[in-house]
Amino acid sequence: MDIHEILKRLPHRYPILLVDRVLEVEKGKRIRALKNVSINEPHFNGHFPHRPVMPGVLILEALAQAATLLALASTDLVLDDTTVVYFAGIDNARFKRVVEPGDALFLDVTLDRAKAGIYKFGAKALVGDQLAAEAELMCTMRRITP
């Protein structure tokens, strides 16, 4: 799935869209996506000016966006202006390696459970074969009224 397909599925836009490409997806099971980390991203101006590091919260957000793409692919749902996906929980988040400009961040997410609009995922972010971060994520889809 290229960036054009991702833009059709996710409501996020620059600077918060954090998935550049989906490399593999198995409906109902797993997704592998890619985030190319660039020095041009606005958070690097302040985090940290002397040693740019991708904030952990943005790594978790990238994993959540990949998880959302997996949930949508697994249910054949399409988000519209009346539906959003929210974080419902983040458990056991651990950061093992810094992520820096120039890194290719691979987002590996598995769907552990889906019930009543609540999705639970196991998520890992890797640079090459090195684990950068991992967490258990919970998301929920909700209808909103404008």
* 27-65: pLDDT as tens digits: 999 999 999 999 999 999 999 999 999 999 999 999 999
In this structure, the number of other CB atoms found within 10 A of the CB of residue 103 comes to 20
In this structure, the number of other CB atoms found within 10 A of the CB of residue 22 comes to 21
* 69-101: pLDDT as tens digits: 999 999 878 888 888 899 999 999 999 999 999
User: Looking at 6-20, 68-82, 102-116, which range is the least confident one?
Assistant: 68-82
Catalytic residue among 4, 43, 47, 50: 47
The answer to whether the CB of 19 falls within 8 A of the CB of 6 is yes
Sole residue written with tokens 């909700």: 142
Model confidence at 146: pLDDT above 80? no
The pTM of this model reads 0.96
Q: What is the mean pLDDT of the chain?
A: 95
For the chain, domains (ranges, CATH) are 3-143 (3.10.129.10)
Residue 50 is among the residues annotated as catalytic for this protein: no
The answer to whether the CB of 59 falls within 8 A of the CB of 107 is no
Q: Which residues pair with 32 in a beta bridge?
A: 24, 108
